[in-house]
Amino acid sequence: MSKAFTRETDSEDDEEGAGLPPLPAGGKNYITPQGYARLRTELMQLIDDERPKVVEVVHWAASNGDRSENGDYIYGKKRLREIDRRIRFLTKRLEIAEVTDPSVHAGRDQVFFGATVTYADETGQERTVTILGIDEADSAHGQVSWISPIARALLKAREGDVVKLVTPAGAQEVEVIEVRYPEATPPA
């Protein structure tokens, strides 16, 4: 059978970010203004810079003749599919994004989206997390998604409150020690 009629393994449903937890049904995609700007910058960089360069390489490689053994052509087409998949993903996420500025809560002691919360578990061990959007949270930097179990337990709690955290290992109580928000940045 000719390669022209075979379907490659990439599918339309195989979205970049499939490792991300899905948004709650009917839920919003909350994101900070900085997170929104980062995603938008990535999208524009892919559309304006990276994709045209790859298209140029693929065009050049295609003009060299036999495409079946042309590494530049094969890699370029694969990279183009990856870029297009990421562009679709970013476009969809930005369309449903609900930009929320956490600095409006500065000075409050109640936990809302964008808060940096220090809490202590039952053993007295303190941890600090910042509650951010699904697309911007990075656990390596102490950031958790607003739909994570710890964020769900902490949301709407106040400093001094003890809340119940349900985890696969069982339920435990955590005490909210401190709640901070970023300061408002003056408009540029």
The β-bridge partners of 119 are 127, 176
Residue 175 dihedral angles phi and psi, to the nearest 5°: -105, 130
Identify the CATH number of the domain in which residue 82 sits. Answer: 1.10.287.180
Identify the CATH number of the domain in which residue 163 sits. Answer: 3.10.50.30
Residue 111 dihedral angles phi and psi, to the nearest 5°: -85, 120
Q: Which of 99, 114, 144 is the last residue of a domain?
A: 99
Quote the DSSP letter at residue 69: T
Residue 70 domain boundaries: 27-99
**What per-residue confidence (pLDDT) applies to 26?**
61
CA nearest neighbour of 166 among 180, 177, 182, 152: 152
Check if the beta carbon of residue 111 is closer than 8 Å to that of residue 158.
Answer: yes
**What per-residue confidence (pLDDT) applies to 6?**
46
Q: Are residues 94 and 114 in the same domain?
A: no
CA nearest neighbour of 46 among 9, 13, 80: 80
Check if the beta carbon of residue 121 is closer than 8 Å to that of residue 142.
Answer: no
**What per-residue confidence (pLDDT) applies to 72?**
85
Asked whether residue 5 is assigned to any structural domain, the reply reads no
Q: Which of 99, 115, 146 is the last residue of a domain?
A: 99
User: Would you write out the chain's pLDDT as a tens digit for each of its 188 residues?
Assistant: 444 444 444 444 444 455 555 666 666 789 999 999 999 999 999 999 999 999 998 888 888 877 777 888 889 999 999 999 999 999 999 998 999 998 888 778 899 999 999 999 888 899 999 999 999 999 899 999 999 999 999 999 999 999 999 888 889 999 999 999 988 765 55
